[in-house]
Structure 1
Amino acid sequence: MAKVLLNTLFILITLKTGIKCNESHQRVRRLVGAEPANNVDPVVYVRFNGRAARVEGTRDFPNYVFKGIKYAQPPVGAGRFLRPKEKFLEGEVNATVYPPPCIQPAPGRTNTVIGNEDCLALNIFTPDLPTGTEGLPVIVWIHGGGFRYGSASQYGVRHLVGQRLVVVTIQYRLGSLGFLSSGSKHLPGNAALWDMALAVQWIRNYIGFFGGNPHRIVVMGHDTGASSALLLSLTKIAKGMPNAIVAMSGTAVSRWAIDNTPSDTAQQIAEENGCPTGNAVTMVKCLQKVPAESIVKGDSRIEFQHLQSRGFVTGLNGRLGTAPVSEGSNDGRSLPGMVEIDPVESMYKQENPKIPLLTGVTKDETTKAVKGQFKSDILKQLKSVPNFLNKVLVENLHNSSVLSKLSGKLGNIAQTGQNITSSLLSNGANALEGLGNSLQLNFENYLKAKQNDIEENLQKISEATADALFNVPAFLQAQLWKGAPTYLYSFEHSGNMHRGFSFLQGLPIVGNASSTETNSNDTVGHGDELSYLFDAHDLEGNPLPTNEPTEDDLKVRNFFTQMIADFARHGEFKIDNKKVPSFNLGENNFVQIKPEPILANKFKFCEMALWTNIGDRLKSNSCQFLKALESGVSKNLGKVQDLGSLVPGWNSQSPNKNPLGGILGSSGQQSVKSQKSNPLGIIG
């Protein structure tokens, strides 16, 4: 309470009725922090950093809404690609209109660009203006969209606000305008992550004016928004700002989270726009003068080229354009980096903040794309490529998933001796370097399908791609997050409100809105859970048509929003009045979100063991149906030292003591032997 009183003295909030005259000089009553009333526009007076402002919002009864508030200076001209500069509130602020979306391709319209480069704004939704208490928990929403699409105004948040939460939806630069990096000090990258960090800082400074608690901020996102939320939590720049993280269908160890070859994309973008590539300074200055529309169109051409050359797995994984990068300890200008080291390495060293994490997936993350947009390409490969499923596809998924990145990172850690004893260095470095090249597990039974059964083959591909690209990262993220409660969920409700394509238009993974599979109520695809938390709007904030919810839909919405609200308030939640325990590798406990939610164990138990090579589990009776260690694999086990035994504290009888989180089990390492050629050109 002392903090609240001091904050109240420092931040002047007027809590009385304001009087204003309209054009006819009639008095119009406007409420400032008073009890809710209909048809009354809220006005908030603030003073911060020596600046005073009068902020006028609107009512979405019973809530207060403040739209399009600029938190940063326009990132245009010489400010393009650079870190954002904070914009403080002062003077008269009209917060009654949604901001234009950040400039991006128009979904479904070829060679068309919409939005504005001057777009760094946020929307605030609150059930109460300040009442003298400590304020309500705050959710900061980071939209997904493959780093290329989306806006803050797409998400109607009344269901979350109805749980007595303040919700702030933010915008950040997209595509190359937000993430282009040459890997040098002249274009270090991560401008959009800096946008997000500045937005969270702005919210912490100002949210007390709008009824929020600046000391209870939960950063929440979906898809690339989820991986960004986790990257924010891991950076020293935002240390102490998030109090918890909600990551939906995306993690910091997802393959799209970090671009390891950013300079290649930067050169492509420069060439697309006629800029020189020999000198980084000249290239940046040239790109700063190119019309923003040209850069967005260049991004689209490169994305199309990558999709054609790398294939459907890369499309499902979102590795098509610019993304966050690891900058190192500084960006070459003696300035701190946003992402100093790869998040895999950071969490292996247990450097994650000790704050609660809630992460999860949908039941059928990739099904709509596999059976929709990519169906014809997949069928051609099934017909023309021998052993496509258990050879080509598995290798492709391994190379495109977090597993290949883990291999390299753990090898590097072993070489440098970071957090690994001399025993491990002397005995395990070579083995770690070879992770992914020594053994081949048998995926045949995992992918077994009748050769001529198209639907069964497509279903197996859906399951395998969902496991490798979404379920494995969620599983590993939950295990690598140390020192704080961690919760895993699977959204499994097949209802009448699936609207993933409404929120994520433009992304290959959501399929086409008109396709049969996209509209199937039996499939719970990527983004379909969003409509149970949010109302779907277009990029400008206009409501989109929705289906009438069923009774079960309403049950799921009530549980899901309550779960998020409880997690935001307490860092934990309950099912049937029983506290949900933190994720445990031995139990693989998770929440199944259904009309009657279930606290279950063994999340994809054997599948996760296969992909991450938890050897003891693969040998167990419950996983014998996979026969993963057969076909010549088991006889080779003795040739490779047990990597798990080389890790300090590992005990095969107590898997939770394994600091690698079960990635390396008693059977050695998991891999797929590389082929000498790639006739399909799909391995990205």
Structure 2
Amino acid sequence: MMLAVNEFLDDLRGGRMTEAPIVTVEQGQLQGKTVNSPSGKGFYSFQGIPYAKPPLGTLRFKAPEPADPWDGVRDATSEGNVCPQIDPILTKEFIGDENCLYLNIYTPNLDGAFLPVMIYIHGGGFKNGSGSASLYGGDFLVEKDVVVVTINHRLGALGFLSLNTPEVPGNAGLKDIVQAIRWVKENIHNFGGNSGNLTVFGESSGGVATAILTASHTAKVLISKAIIQSGTAIDNSVFQKSPISNARRLVQQLGGEAEDVDDILEFLNATSARELVEATEKLSNEGLNFGATIEKEFPGVESVITESFSDILTSGRVANIPIMIGSTTLELTLERKSDDLQDLIPEELHIERNSEQSLEIADKIKSLYFKGSHTGVESLNEYFELLSDTMINIHTHRHVKYLVQVSNKPIYYYKFDYVGELNWSKKLLSSLGLHHAGHMDELGYLFKNEIMKDVEPTPQDLKMRERMVRMWTNFAKSGNPTPEENYYLTVTWLPVTRDNLYYLNLGSELSLGSNPDKEKMDFWDEVYSKYFRIWEQPKAITEEVVRKSDKIVPVPEQTPAAFHDETTPESEPTPEVVSPVQIVETPAEPEPSQTEEVIDQIEVVQETTLVEVTDNNGFVKEEVPTEPITKSEPEPVNIINGNGNEVKKPRTSNEIKMVQQPNGTPKDVIRANDPPEDDLPKNIGVNKFVNFFESLGGKK
């Protein structure tokens, strides 16, 4: 009898599961697979689904473009590439590929279009991480009849370079997320999901991204609910203050000298992903991180955020949706590099160091956070609490206080303080003698992951997992995490009010409290009310943008010896074009003080090829017709300058391949070390100065 009932319920939920399910989306058909959750419940898995074109060639650093359609049935049984990064856990070495804009979908039912959808944004400081099932398996969540989506997005400089230009305004990684959400909204009904009920949730930088989406004029109309975990965009440190300067530092780290934004873009476009990531990692160790930017608005260019997040939040222009927001007890356990407590006064308060105000605040911090000395091992736990407050908890508290003033939707505030076998930081914190939940610890109870595959959870751990999964999925379903009390959910979680910051303490038992860490937060509220000036906070990028077209380059009176000029007799031999080109220098007597410039790249290939012979300032002196070149990969050449010295050839990864259209404008650019794409030209050559000439109006 019971078996028959179960079979009947299976029929209601879409019938028996197909081993190789096929789903049709806008771009074509996908074949997934059926898998079983740890409890034995079956669900469908579709992995490695492209939601955008691969960001290769001219699409590097640019906003994502919709994915191309495909023929036949695409295999969706394994994950796509992770985005280029340094592996933070295992190898500590470069991994990934730029062709990485993929998402994964896990669903209990392919029929109907009624299940709530939860879209997870991974953390990693905007420089590493992915939506991989090895860390974020959706098994436990899917068991509660929701559709789970995990996504990859571009990271580091590849995802967050900003030159404050229409071509590279910044936030490509955030635009990836928006594009993924759009794809989900258009296609999730084919996976049993409700496109009108999308909950975005993320942790750490994923929490920052989630917060930004709620304030984005582009994204906030797409989402129904948000869960912001251990990170918020009200913290101005998550935004780049000087992105163009950061880009220059990246170029310098790579050994380049580019200064104007066009040269910077050309140089970075010609650099391999591996070199970019490794250079970015070195800068990160020096304190420079490529994160979100407040974009400048350009006509016809879609942006994510163009104003201070604080401005948008306090003026009530964030998405008016139910929100869950919270943090863990000990968010950060970083090495203490200084005993000066002034170092932990938030920079956004603009308090002058060693001023009377700064010293007074430091003294108050010491008395509030430390029972005795604020140095030494014995004060480590207190130091970590202070660090966690100044880096995350204060900003979460402020976000909640501002949000409740402008929203008429429920805001649920939490503190995660459970310590169990599934805490990701358990080994670290235990070794330090700390007994609190750390950064990312709640994730061990929401997701299946490989880190914990050999860990044996206790009965209490399993109870906490069930509690967490139920609250998160209840919220996605109805906007209320505790719609009814039961064995697992023993407390009704009240949303915050303007008069009372209710919060749920997620410890060994659930308990409802009010105004967490009241004494400390009251102190920081007082400091912020006195020193925080919203009009002093970052606006759109104000750095001066220097472009090639802004420069006036004088035409030299003398003709360098290395080039033919317009008076070359017709009897002079035409330069012979080899693969891809051989630069022929004619003898001449240069001025004694003159130093020859080096041409370090080669010529453009068209239907009828022209070799442009230029002087040492880059101006065209002559165009020599040659036979078309059909070779796709240039042979390395060494160039001899006018003094007879061999010039070091450029790095392979810095070679640029271009093809011109009939009007002489470049059609596409790919890096020499990239595999050819079917939609990219195969007959291509090189010319470093093409963009320069075009910026002057183009040469007809």
| Alignment equivalent of 1:596, drawn from 505, 509, 512 | 509
Deviation at 1:450, TM superposition (A): 3.1
Which stretch of structure 1 is more off in the superposition, 199-208 or 447-456?
447-456
Query: For residues 55 and 461 of structure 1, do their structure 2 counterparts lie closer, same or farther at Cα, with a shift above 3 Å needed?
Result: same
Q: Distance in 2 between matches of 1:128 and 1:521?
A: 43
Match of 1:296 in 2: 277
Query: What is the CA-CA distance between 1:356 and the residue it aligns to?
Result: 0.9
Say yes or no: does 1:533 pair with 2:446.
yes
Q: Please give the alpha-carbon distance, in whole angstroms, between the structure 2 residues aligned to 1:267 and 1:669.
A: 33
TM-score (ref. length: structure 2)? 0.68
- Partner residue of 1:357 out of 302, 323, 327: 323
Deviation of residue 520 (structure 1)? 6.6
Partner AA of 1:59 in structure 2: T
CA contact (8 A) 2:381 2:434 kept: no
Corresponding residue for 1:74? 54
- 1:611 touches 1:670 (CA, 8 Å); kept in 2? no
Q: CA deviation at 1:340?
A: 1.0
Q: Which has the higher helix share?
A: 1
Instruction: Say whether 1:442 aligns with 2:364.
Output: yes
Contact 1:144 1:223 in 2 (8 A): yes
Residue aligning to 1:243: 224
Amino acid at match of 1:297: E
Distance in 2 between residues matched to 1:170 and 1:436, nearest whole Å: 45
Structure-1 residue corresponding to 2:610: none
Q: Which residue is 1:42 aligned to?
A: 21
Q: Does residue 338 of structure 1 match 2:251?
A: no
Q: Which residue of 2 aligns with 1:471?
A: 393
**2:500 is the counterpart of 1:587:** yes
Q: Which amino acid aligns with 1:531?
A: G
Q: Which amino acid aligns with 1:602?
A: N
Q: Name the CA distance, whole Å, in 2 between partners of 1:563 and 1:435.
A: 47
Among candidates 378, 400, 404, match of residue 349 of structure 2: 404
Question: Who is 1:59 aligned against?
Answer: 34
Which residue in the other structure is 1:194 paired with? Answer: 175
Deviations 1:519-550 (A, max 9, x none): 9782311011110001123xxxxx76341111
What SS class does the counterpart of residue 285 from structure 1 fall into? helix
Question: Retained in 1: the 8 A contact 2:349–2:532?
Answer: no
Q: Can you give the 5+ residue segments of structure 1 that lack an aligned partner in the other structure?
A: 1-30, 307-319, 382-387, 409-433, 502-512, 538-542, 615-662, 672-684
- Identity over aligned pairs, percent: 27
Match of 2:130 in 1: 151
**1:173/1:279 CA distance change after superposition, 3 Å:** same
Q: Assess if the C-alpha contact under 8 Å between 2:414 and 2:504 holds in 1.
A: yes
Q: Report the residue type matching 2:424 in the other structure.
A: R
Q: Deviations over 1:494-523 (max 9, x none)?
A: 11111259xxxxxxxxxxx6x564697823
Measure the CA separation in 1 of the matches of 2:411 and 2:14: 38
8 A contact 2:214–2:319 mirrored in 1: yes
Give the deviation of 1:88 after TM superposition.
Answer: 4.8
Q: In 2 relative to 1, CA 163–500 (structure 1 residues): closer, same or farther, beyond 3 Å?
A: farther
Q: Distance in 2 between matches of 1:334 and 1:533?
A: 40
One-letter code aligned to 1:593: L
Alpha-carbon RMSD = 2.8
Q: Which residue of 2 aligns with 1:555?
A: 463
Residue 456 of structure 1 pairs with residue 397 of structure 2:
no
- Provide the secondary structure at the position in 1 that maps to 2:105: strand
Find the partner of 1:167 among 148, 151, 156: 148
| Match in the other structure for 2:412 | 487
Question: Structure 1 pair 476/284, CA: closer, same or farther in 2 (3 Å)?
Answer: same
Contact 1:500/1:530, CA 8 A, preserved across alignment: no
What one-letter code is carried by the residue in structure 1 that aligns with 2:268? L
Q: Could you give the per-residue CA deviations for residues 26-67 of structure 1, whole angstroms, max 9, x where no partner exists?
A: xxxxx9994244x71211234x4xx5x221001112010000
| TM-superposed deviation, 1:335 | 2.0
Query: Residue type of the partner of 2:65?
Result: K
Q: Name the CA shift for 1:326/1:438 in 2 (closer, same or farther; >3 Å).
A: farther
Alpha-carbon distance between aligned partners in 2 of 1:479 and 1:449, rounded to the nearest angstrom: 29
Q: CA deviation at 1:107?
A: 2.5
Contact 2:121 2:207 in 1 (8 A): yes
For residue 278 of structure 1, what is the aligned residue in structure 2? 259
Q: Which residue of 1 aligns with 2:289?
A: 321
- TM (norm. structure 1) is 0.69
How far apart are 1:437 and its partner, in Å?
A: 7.3
Moved more, 593-602 or 58-67: 593-602
User: Could you say which residue in structure 1 is the equivalent of 2:314?
Assistant: 348
Describe the shift of the 1:110–1:595 C-alpha distance in structure 2 as closer, same or farther (beyond 3 A).
Answer: closer
2-side partners of 1:669 and 1:284: how far apart?
Answer: 39
* Most deviating of 262-271 and 569-578: 569-578
1:106–1:113 Cα contact (<8 Å) kept: yes
Query: Secondary structure of the equivalent of 1:140?
Result: strand
Aligned equivalent of 1:431: none
Q: Paired residue for 2:639?
A: none
1:589-611, Cα deviation, whole Å (9 max, x unpaired)? 10011242111112111110111
Q: What is the rounded CA distance, in whole Å, between the counterparts of 2:12 and 2:24 in structure 1?
A: 8
Distance across 1 between alignment mates of 2:302 and 2:359? 39
Q: Aligned letter for 2:276? A: I
Structure 1 pair 205/480, CA: closer, same or farther in 2 (3 Å)? Answer: same
Counterpart secondary structure, 1:600: strand
Distance 2:31 2:374 in 1: 64
1:178 is matched with 159
Cα distance in 1 for partners of 2:84, 2:323 equals: 31
Distance in 1 (CA, whole Å) between partners of 2:511 and 2:167 is 51
Q: 1:613 aligns to what SS in structure 2?
A: helix
Q: Output aligned runs, 1:498-647, within 5 Å.
A: 498-500=423-425, 515=428, 517=430, 522-537=435-450, 545-574=453-482, 576=485, 579-613=492-526
Contact residue 203 and residue 228 of structure 2 kept, 8 A: yes
Structure 1 match to 2:66: 86
Contact 2:429 2:438 in 1 (8 A): no
Aligned-partner residue type, residue 417 of structure 2: E
SS in 1 for 2:64: coil
Distance change in 2, residues 1:33/1:579 (3 Å): closer
Which is higher, the Rg of structure 1 or of structure 2? 2
Tell me which amino acid in the other structure corresponds to 1:573: P
Q: Aligned to 1:445, what secondary structure does the other structure show?
A: helix
Distance of aligned partners of 1:325 and 1:607 in 2 relative to their CA distance in 1, 3 Å threshold: same
- Relative to structure 1, is the Cα distance of residues 257 and 588 closer, same or farther in structure 2, using a 3 angstrom cutoff? same
CA distance in 1 between counterparts of 2:233 and 2:209 reads: 7
Contact kept? 2:329, 2:385, Cα under 8 Å: no
Contact 2:349–2:531 (CA under 8 A) maintained in structure 1? no
C-alpha distance 404-336 of structure 1, shift in aligned 2 (>3 A): farther
Identify which of 104, 109, 130 aligns with 1:123: 104
Cα distance in 2 between the residues matched to 1:44 and 1:234: 33
Distance 1:118 1:137, change over 3 A: same
d(CA) in 2 for partners of 1:275 and 1:148?
Answer: 22
Summarize the alignment of residues 668-683 of structure 1 with structure 2, pairs less than 5 Å apart.
668-669=530-531
State the AA in 2 paired with 1:603. Answer: P
Q: Distance in 1 between matches of 2:393 and 2:35?
A: 38
Structure showing greater relative contact order (alpha-carbon pairs closer than 8 Å, 6 or more residues apart): 1
1 CA distance for matches of 2:233 and 2:61?
23
Change beyond 3 A, Cα 1:602–1:345: same
What displacement does 1:172 show?
Answer: 0.2
Partner Cα distance (1:182, 1:115) in 2: 24
Amino acid at match of 1:591: L
Please show how residues 379-398 of structure 1 align to structure 2 within 5 Å.
Answer: 381=338, 388=339, 392-393=340-341, 395-398=342-345
- Corresponding letter in the other structure for 2:476: A
